């Protein structure tokens, strides 16, 4: 089992914690979503390290990375952080996999710095601004309600309400060390990241013109969740393949083997990576 190499990189007033596993094959960057950190990908990264140089990281203001926790998250700044990490990986272009909010960051990275991205798998981004008018207004209202619940009742109440919108995702306890790291991420997400991620409008023309090989993915167990509808709308706008992954929205943590194998098979079929590369 590969032992991760732990490093930090400075960017725009923050120290970004990251770790990488493996040295064979292309660079693979995994970007985590909300209320998470690099630990959500640890098991999957260990499996993927036999074919890739896998890098995971804690996004700024989350867990072991620093940053200004009194300032609202900027998707563009998050993309610049990801770009710095790819440059530090030192192998040229990277394959990027982003889930949920991490998928939003991946979309922005493809638009801003396409020269750093070879292929990207975008798993269930909450791009509600691409939904039809009725659904868009419904989920805008949901975001407003959850944001205000956090302010008025605290992060536990907001998280309980938010989790109701995730289809078939377990709300079970995490390991103690991970749970302790994530505790401060929850309040930060609802105060400073929630509205930024859900208000993001992908730069469709820039992404389509970027020459980045892009595939969207939805979970087989996510049914018709709003983020599935949004992902399908995104695929239609980008005119790219939309494929089915096993599991649900948090498949990387609860089903790491299935998640890792889905990445390998997707890149073999739709990416720039051949089965034996």
Of 118, 90, 116, 107, nearest to 274 by C-alpha is 118
Q: Is the pLDDT of residue 276 over 80?
A: no
Note the pLDDT of residue 162.
97
Q: Is the pLDDT of residue 264 over 90?
A: yes
Q: Residue 7 in contact with residue 72, Cβ under 8 Å?
A: no
pLDDT class of 142 with cuts at 50, 70, 90: very high
Q: What is the mean pLDDT of residues 239-254?
A: 96
Q: What is the pLDDT of residues 157-216, one digit of tens each?
A: 999 999 999 999 998 888 898 989 998 899 999 999 999 999 999 999 999 999 899 999
Assign 3-state DSSP to the chain and report helix, strand, coil percentages, each to 5.
50, 20, 35
* pLDDT attached to residue 273: 58
**Rounded CA gap, 248 and 130, in Å?**
21
Q: 72-83: per-residue pLDDT in tens?
A: 999 999 999 999
pLDDT tens by residue, 103-115? 999 999 999 999 9
pLDDT of residue 23: 86
CA distance 48 to 179: 24
pLDDT band at 277 (very low <50, low <70, confident <90, very high): very low
In whole angstroms, how large is the CA radius of gyration of the chain? 17
Q: How far apart are CA 266 and CA 231, in angstroms?
A: 16
* pLDDT given at position 171: 85
Using the 8-state DSSP alphabet, how is residue 69 labeled? T
pLDDT band at 3 (very low <50, low <70, confident <90, very high): confident
Q: What domains are there in the chain, each with its CATH number?
A: 5-270 (3.40.50.1820)
Query: What burial class does residue 232 get, using C-beta atoms within 10 Å of its C-beta: 0-12 exposed, 13-18 middle, 19+ buried?
Result: middle
Contact in structure between 7 and 15 (CB atoms under 8 Å): no
Residues comprising the chain, all counted: 277
Contact criterion met (CB below 8 Å) for 170 and 251: no
| 117 pLDDT tier (thresholds 50, 70, 90) | very high
* pLDDT of 274 over the 60 cut: no
Residue 144 pLDDT > 90, yes or no? yes
Average of per-residue pLDDT values in the chain = 95
Burial degree of 135 (CB within 10 A; 0-12, 13-18, 19+)? middle
pTM, entire model: 0.96
């Amino acid at each position: 089992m590969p032992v991760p190499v732990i490093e930090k990189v400075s960017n725009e007033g923050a120290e970004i914690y990251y770790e990488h596993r493996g040295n064979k094959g292309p660079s693979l960057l995994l970007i985590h979503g909300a209320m998470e950190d690099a630990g959500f990908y640890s098991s999957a990264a260990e499996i993927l390290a036999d074919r890739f140089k896998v890098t995971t990281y804690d996004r700024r203001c989350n867990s072991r990375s620093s940053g200004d926790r009194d300032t609202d998250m900027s998707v563009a700044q998050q993309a610049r952080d990801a770009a710095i990490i790819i440059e530090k990986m030192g192998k040229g272009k990277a394959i990027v996999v982003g889930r949920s909010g991490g998928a939003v960051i991946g979309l922005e990275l493809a638009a801003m710095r396409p020269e750093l991205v070879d292929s990207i798998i975008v798993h269930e981004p909450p791009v509600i601004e691409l939904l039809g008018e009725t659904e868009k207004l419904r989920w805008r209202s949901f975001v407003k309600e959850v944001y205000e619940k956090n302010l008025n009742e605290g992060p536990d109440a907001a998280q309980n309400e938010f989790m109701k919108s995730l289809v078939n995702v377990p709300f079970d306890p995490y390991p103690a060390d991970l749970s302790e790291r994530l505790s401060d991420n929850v309040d930060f997400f609802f105060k400073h990241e929630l509205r930024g991620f859900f208000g993001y409008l992908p730069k469709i023309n820039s992404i389509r013109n970027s020459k980045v090989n892009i595939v969207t993915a939805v979970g087989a167990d996510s049914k018709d969740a709003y983020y599935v509808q949004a992902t399908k709308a995104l695929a239609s706008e980008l005119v790219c393949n939309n494929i089915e992954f096993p599991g649900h929205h948090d498949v990387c943590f609860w089903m790491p083997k299935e998640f890792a194998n889905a990445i390998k098979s997707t890149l073999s079929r739709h990416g720039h990576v051949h089965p034996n590369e």
